[in-house]
Amino acid sequence: MKIAAAQIKPIKGDITGNIENHKTLINLAINNKVNLIVFPELSITGYEPELAEQLSIYYEDPVLDIFQKMADENNITITVGMPTKADDKLLISSIIFQPGKKRSIYSKNNLFRTETGIFSKGDLPYQLDILQNKISLAICYDLSDPIHSQQAYQAGSNIYTASVLNSVNGIDDDLIKLSDIAKKYNMHVLMANFTGESGGYKCAGKSSIWNNKGQLIAQLNDQNEGIIILNTENNQTETIYIS
């Protein structure tokens, strides 16, 4: 299986512009025969909590139909980040597009302290099953709760993906945490992060891959957009930049 973490420079609140950027990276993944591509937290809008209410959608909104079309036509699974509405709740979500299936959603289970007055917690874990691999999804602060990765392990996951906004001041701690998760639970771990600026943060880039021994085996730089690919069969990686 080939899985990719996407690193993008978000355009604040610009859903259309960000979708176009996503399409560029997805096509890059398709050309490299990737089976799953994971984007950062709130990737379609940028990490902009003060705009989240007005930008939020119900997860089945047709504004994201292009991703289902790309998934169906190219046999690729795609996860993108979006603020979503559910009844009276505002959620930080990953929306998942799988070929030939109805789209699904995972909403962040663990909120950072600055998010608690704006967003509600999701209450269910999420696991993908692709080519005999079980992949658990995490969104940013999820990875700081030991129970989250423990549940992934107990559910039989062999891959753990983290969609994040990580700033230059916060990334080092999370790199250590993700390495520890990989080592402790014998899982491959991928992290997809922003570059540029979002939500008032200078984003750190450095989207990364760890093998199931916790060793960092590939990492993007701190500036450019691109994808980082892992072949889970042989631990081979590839980094591709677009800007």
8 A C-beta contact, residue 40 and residue 194: yes
Q: Low-confidence residues of the chain, pLDDT below 70? A: 243
- Assigned CATH topology for domain 2-241: Nitrilase/N-carbamoyl-D-aminoacid amidohydrolase (3.60.110)
Distance CA 142, CA 138 (A): 6
Distance CA 39, CA 78 (A): 8
Structure tokens at 225: 């957009």
182-235 residue pLDDT tens: 999 999 999 999 999 999 999 999 999 999 999 999 999 999 999 999 999 999
Distance CA 99, CA 78 (A): 9
What's the first-to-final CA gap in the chain, in angstroms?
26
Q: Nearest 5°: CA angle at 57, between 52 and 59?
A: 125
Distance CA 70, CA 37 (A): 12
Predicted pLDDT at 94: 98
Distance CA 42, CA 141 (A): 13
CA 195 to chain centre: 14
Residue 173 sits at φ, ψ, to 5 deg, of -65, -40
Structure tokens at 185: 């639970």
All structural domains of the chain with their residue ranges: 2-241
Predicted pLDDT at 183: 98
8 A C-beta contact, residue 48 and residue 42: yes
Other residues' Cβ atoms within 10 Å of the Cβ of residue 215: 12
CA 165 to chain centre: 10
Structure tokens at 168: 């230059």
Query: DSSP letter string over 118-180?
Result: T--------EEEETTEEEEEEEGGGGGSHHHHHHHHHTT-SEEEEE---BTTTHHHHHHHHHH
